[in-house]
Amino acid sequence: MPAVTQTREAVEKLGQSSYKWGFETDIEMDMAPKGLNEDIIRLISSRKEEPEWMLEWRLAAYKTWQAMTEPKWAKVTYPPIDYQDAHYYAAPRKKPGPKSLDEVDPELLRTYEKLGIPLHEQAMLAGVEVPEGERMPVAVDAVFDSVSVATTFRKTLEEAGVIFCPISEAVREHPDLVRRYLGTVVPAGDNFYSALNSAVFTDGSFVYVPKGVRCPMELSTYFRINAKNTGQFERTLIVVEEGASVSYLEGCTAPMRDENQLHAAVVELVAMDDASIKYSTVQNWYPGDENGRGGIYNFVTKRGICRGARSKISWTQVETGSAVTWKYPSCILQGEGSVGEFYSVAVTNNRQQADTGTKMIHLGRNTRSTIIAKTISAGHSDSTYRGLVRVQPKASGARNFTQCDSLLIGDQCGAHTVPYIESRNMNARIEHEATTSKISEDQLFYCRQRGLSEEDAVGLIVNGFCRDVLKELPMEFAVEAQKLLQISLEGSVG
Amino acid sequence: MSQFLEISGLCAQIDADGQDKQILRGVDLSIPPGEVHVIMGPNGSGKSTLSYVLAGREEYVVTAGSATFHGQDLLAMEPEERAAAGLFLAFQSPIELPGVNNANFLRTAVNAVRRARGQEELDAVAFLKMAREAAKALSMAPDMLKRNVNVGFSGGEKKRNEVLQMTLLQPTFAILDETDSGLDVDALRIVAEGVNRLRAPTFSALVITHHQKLLDYLVPDRIHVMARGRIILSGGPELARQIDQEGYTKFLAEVA
Ligand SMILES: Nc1ncnc2c1ncn2[C@@H]1O[C@H](COP(=O)(O)OP(=O)(O)O)[C@@H](O)[C@H]1O
Ligand SMILES: [Mg+2]
């Protein structure tokens, strides 16, 4: 695979080590005033044309949130966030839906272009029919700030009975489904950020795959933060019925900022008997400058429940962005023989801080979980892996395998591994392995003697280190992820 | 003198626990194009250090002397520039790259030097065909290309993998640092044949070895003996046979 060539090209395109996707799109915004109170929540709810129950739900979450305090246990530090000093709603000006590419705001198309969204996908965003190639088509639900600007491939999905739409639309069009599942995996009061999200979430995706259906395409969302000082509170809910399956891709980039931006998404996954959900993320939000100024704060709650027997939930993530990351995609393994997987690469450079990991909660018998976490730290960054494996008394025969590997580049950075293992069943088998290594001078010199530049050598070694995770990503994402890894480590050696 | 490789008065040291440690103490060596030269010498005399310095390893600080390659100042070039210019070093202890697929590594390296040399890059299919043929000629198992670079390779497999890389990178000057150590007779012959296939009026090699056996196959032009960071003696192929029979002691005593 010509990964390194592509990486090289990507790096060359960068020119200087500035953030490639740091630009701002000038589209007129419809924006709520700064601050958070019941009126703002009512405004959001009315803008979204939500039913009454949804507004009640939000207001209840808001009350819960008001009684909570920000968690401080993670190994990250950042200045206090003034929650009243942000806008909680922003939407690009509503226009009638584009009928052809010409009708789409050229500014928006240029944004997609800069994001590297392939042309055919840009066309898809505009609803233009594209002949199907050999590869699996990708459907894109673009979250442009708080409103989904376009949703594509509706027809193919509709024919399969799959629902893939903005959550706000689902609230209106599929209220029963949303009401049945929303907040069942991550209750509003689960934590400070989930409560905040529940009160003010403005968009995100809803996916419903009916019984026995293999979703005919990979579902993809490009997230993007675009309005100044707009906190992003996406809400994603994916429900996969008995014997059905879906692969969901989430990727994002963000424009350059002076002020830190808060991002607190909630993702909930529900898998019934024999269902499978694969959720892949490539996260590349603006990490701040080399002093950490201006980066995104990413406080996410992602959790899936394997409700059904033999169901499977697999999280794969490549995290290179954000100034501060607080994120623990988790699996509740309730169904007998259900399977949870977590494959993660977290890269921190300069002043980035990441506290991430996973939780595997074994409730059912013969449940299995696998955790492969690769942490790469460079510059003055600090990275912590925090993983919980809990086996409840009824989970006889539960098995977990955890592998945590840290790679340090330079000697100014830190990497920490904090495993929590709680087994309440004698029959459970839990294995934990951890390693810490450095890119050695020997390795760099060996590669350079063979003609590779230092940056290419680092890229190759880092990609090798992450291979077990990268191979879990869908092909197109894997290529993008490899580029990202190298770009985010640029200038970290030598 | 418009020589191919010219080394003159080369001195190099390393920082060993905060102390400057002098290793090369004035190496003089001249290799014309098309020749195979051999360096022999007791352990610790600086043979590997010389090969590292020529390849550009930064830990070794050159304190005096010069090295030119095709008239260019070799010491001013980055390691990858030296590789592109045609210098190849077969490591005495090849390095493991966990998770890095051998074929991918080889292709990345080959295309990096091809680009630098103004040649067209090879696509995956063309490259694999070439790599498979080269591996076969070295009697390497086909799965060696699929494994991670040098990870879990036996000593002999690592050495063959070095020769495979050399074959694919098509250097004009190759340094082989004890590539024959730890090889059985058959492997030794295969490796020697790999070097011989590269022999041409425009290709030279510097072979570091302790054993006459390899030289039976390679037929060198000159033998140099290195001791305490200097070339203390040079001669024809008969010198190697003499050392093989009598050891280094006599020669060291003569120069002492
Ligand atoms: N990285 C290093 N740190 C400290 N000493 C070194 C280092 N590399 C080489 N030396 C020393 O330099 C001398 C020459 O080593 P080397 O070049 O490996 O010899 P040879 O290859 O001839 O056996 C030895 O004494 C060795 O211990
Ligand atoms: Mg040596």
> Do the beta carbons of residue A121 and residue A139 sit within 8 Å?
no
Contacts of A463 in chain B (CB under 8 A): 99-100
Find the B46 Cα to ligand 1 centroid distance in Å.
Answer: 6
Domain with B78 in it: 5-255
Structure tokens at A57: 């739900």
Structure tokens at A412: 């100014």
Task: Provide the residue type at A37 as one letter.
Answer: N
Which of A448, A456, A468 is the best mutation test for B, with the most CBs of B within 10 A? A448
Give bridge partners of residue B117 from the DSSP assignment.
Answer: none
B218 phi and psi angles, rounded to 5 deg: -85, -25
Task: Output the domain CATH number for residue B149.
Answer: 3.40.50.300
Find the B45 Cα to ligand 1 centroid distance in Å.
Answer: 8
**Which of B17, B22, B23 to probe ligand 1 with, by most ligand atoms within 8 A of CB?**
B23
Say if A144 is an interface residue toward chain B (CB within 8 Å): no
Ligand 1 proximal residues by C-beta, below 6 Å: B 14, 16, 21, 23, 41, 43-49, 59
A56 phi and psi angles, rounded to 5 deg: -60, -45
Helix residue ranges per DSSP H, B138-211: 155-169, 185-198
Dump pLDDT digits (tens) for B92-103: 999 999 999 999
Exposed e or buried b per residue across A96-107, where buried means at least 16 C-beta atoms within 10 angstroms of its C-beta: eebeeeeebbee
pLDDT value at position A85? 84
A333 phi and psi angles, rounded to 5 deg: -100, 90
Number of folded domains that form chain B = 1
Q: Cβ contact (<8 Å) for B112 and A453?
A: yes
**Which of B20, B49, B57, B178 to probe ligand 1 with, by most ligand atoms within 8 A of CB?**
B49
Judged by its nearest atom, the ligand closest to the C-alpha of residue B230 is: 1
Which of B52, B80, B111 is the best mutation test for A, with the most CBs of A within 10 A? B80
Closest CA to B147 of B105, B112, B110: B105
User: How many other CB atoms sit within 10 Å of the CB of residue A404?
Assistant: 22
B50 Cα nearest atom in ligand 1 = 17
List chain A domain ranges: 2-489
Judged against a pLDDT cut of 80, whether residue B21 lies above it is answered with yes
In chain B, which residues touch A (CB < 8 A)? 55-59, 78-80, 82-84, 88-89, 91, 94-95, 97-101, 104-105, 108-113, 116, 121, 124, 148, 165, 169
Q: Cβ contact (<8 Å) for B78 and A461?
A: no
> Do the beta carbons of residue B57 and residue B51 sit within 8 Å?
no
Most confident of A267-271, B198-202, B235-239: A267-271
Judged by its nearest atom, the ligand closest to the C-alpha of residue B19 is: 1
What are the Cα distances from residue B38, in Å, to A449, B28, B181?
21, 14, 15
Contacts 24+ apart (CB under 8 A), A419-424: A419/A387, A419/A388, A419/A389, A420/A386, A420/A387, A420/A388, A420/A389, A420/A390, A421/A388, A421/A389, A422/A388, A422/A389, A422/A390, A422/A391, A423/A389, A423/A390, A423/A391, A424/A390, A424/A391, A424/A392, A424/A393
- Residue pLDDT tens, chain A, 494 long: 233 333 333 333 333 334 444 444 555 556 777 888 999 999 889 988 999 999 999 999 999 999 999 888 778 788 888 888 887 877 655 444 455 566 665 655 665 565 555 555 555 544 443 333 434 445 555 544 334 434 446 677 888 999 988 888 899 999 999 999 999 999 999 999 999 999 999 878 899 999 999 998 888 765 444 444 345 788 999 999 999 999 998 875 444 444 557 889 999 999 999 999 999 988 777 777 777 777 788 889 999 999 999 999 999 998 887 788 888 999 999 999 999 999 999 888 888 888 889 999 999 999 999 999 999 988 888 888 999 999 999 999 999 999 999 999 888 888 888 889 999 999 999 999 999 988 889 999 999 999 999 988 998 999 899 999 988 988 767 777 777 777 777 766 65
Query: How far is B234 from A137, CA to CA, in rounded Å?
Result: 68
CA B123 to chain centre: 28
A451 phi and psi angles, rounded to 5 deg: 110, -5
Give the predicted TM-score (pTM) of the model: 0.79
Instruction: Calculate the CA dihedral of residues A60, A63, A64, A65 and round it to 10 degrees.
Output: 120
Protein residue with least CA distance to atom 13, ligand 1 = B44
3-state secondary structure of B206: strand
User: How many other CB atoms sit within 10 Å of the CB of residue B199?
Assistant: 15
Helix residue ranges per DSSP H, B44-154: 47-55, 79-85, 102-116, 124-137
